[in-house]
Amino acid sequence: MIQESEYKKRRERFAKKLKSNSVAILFSAEPKSRSNDTEYPYRQDSNFYYMSGFKEDKAALFFVKEKKKTKTYLLVHKKDANEELWNGKRLGVSAAKERFYVDDVFEYTQLSQKLKELLAGKSRLYYDFALNYSKVKLLKRYAKEIETFKNAATKIQKMRLIKSDAEIALIKKAVGITQVAHHRAMKKASLCKYEYELQAEIEYIFKKNGAYSDAYTSIVAAGNNANTLHYITNSAKIHNDDLILIDAGCEYDYYASDITRTIPASGKLTQRQKEIYNLVLRVNKEIISLIRPGVLRSDLQKKSEKLLCKGLVQLGILKGRVKKLLKNKAHKKYYPHGIGHWMGLDVHDSCPYKDKKENEIPLQKGMVLTIEPGIYIDRDDKSVAKKYRGIGIRIEDDILLTKKGCENLSAGIKKELKDIESFAHR
């Protein structure tokens, strides 16, 4: 759990980034309709949550900076007994004043009044440029004196790059729950007839252990379905000779995990499946071994492409010199995605990869990223020997940068062939 004092420190750090005579405004996420009068489960905007720790909608956070002093104000939805009967309790103004370390709290119904009052005489406004049109229109109505508009999100996202000890603890908790789920999948794979059955086994573990949300829609892709990178239909029948690519991770108290393992439906891989699997596993392990502060993510990408390309040549899937194949991007047909991405409050954490000068940001202690090499060979690809067609394999781990190297947070999730095969027979 993240303490209120940590949110306060984040707001103080953010305030230091603001120019004098300015206002910054962050809004809570809008509820999203599923159909007719039903809604998706509410999930707070990640930047708003990062700065406040508040999980309710109809809320706003103001930073008002004059010279070197900044005041913060929180707007929350009012208490309403009739509404709470249907939709649950609200914190309300009085309780919010006791809980949050801000200068004052007001009802959200006062939003227009506060915009008019706090924007008066200010020259600069910071807000999230991804705001919906109605919110932007409202801001502009009261921002007639504003000379400069800046994107508040970019400053917050840069702060989110480096995780605190409390954040790392939550990510580790999420990964720990995901470990149990993937191991359950390994045990149950041979007993499940359809992809959705295996998905249910995984997500049962998530919710049983307090991870009420998936970090993303689970991918359970049997056979050739693994060659659709974002396959989420999860409705196909599982055949005995299929490999099953499972990309599934839970979200624990707003922090994500993101793990992929590829397992045999029968409990044992065929020789041709082992050849591709061992190549992807070697690359996964070698790239992780290279991770330390100062390394560039782009160098990890290049290294992974070179290793996978070389392996594809050795297997006869690609033909020619590795250097020329890389130059012509021939390997991209079988490895089309990146080696990994930032992870945190979002499974694809919206943190920058480059600085203001467009220079790549080197890896630093406290960053968390995924490493996920893969090879995907469609069953209709007649340029490849028939024995390899229809195989799709990805192996993904969650990595924390440490002072001198890295920690594989998902190292406990089995990925060695002997371990995966042994799970199926327990």
Give the active site residues.
37, 230, 247, 258, 337, 341, 348, 372, 376, 394, 396
What 3-state class would DSSP assign to 96? helix
CA 414/CA 411 separation, integer angstroms: 7
- The C-alpha atoms of residue 120 and residue 132 are separated, in whole angstroms, by 23
Bridge partner residues of 72 (DSSP): 63
Per DSSP, what are the bridge partners of residue 74? 61, 105
Q: Are 307 and 339 in contact (CB under 8 A)?
A: no
Greatest alpha-carbon pair distance for the chain in Å reads: 72
* CA separation for the pair 284, 293 (Å, rounded): 18
- Among residues 393, 399, 355, 357, which one has the least CA distance to residue 377? 393
The helix (run of H) or strand (run of E) holding residue 273 is helix 271-289
Strands (E) across 101-242 are located at 104-107, 124-127, 148-151, 213-214, 219-222
Angle between helices 297-314 and 271-289 (to 10 degrees): 150
Residues 279, 375: Cα–Cα separation, whole Å: 9
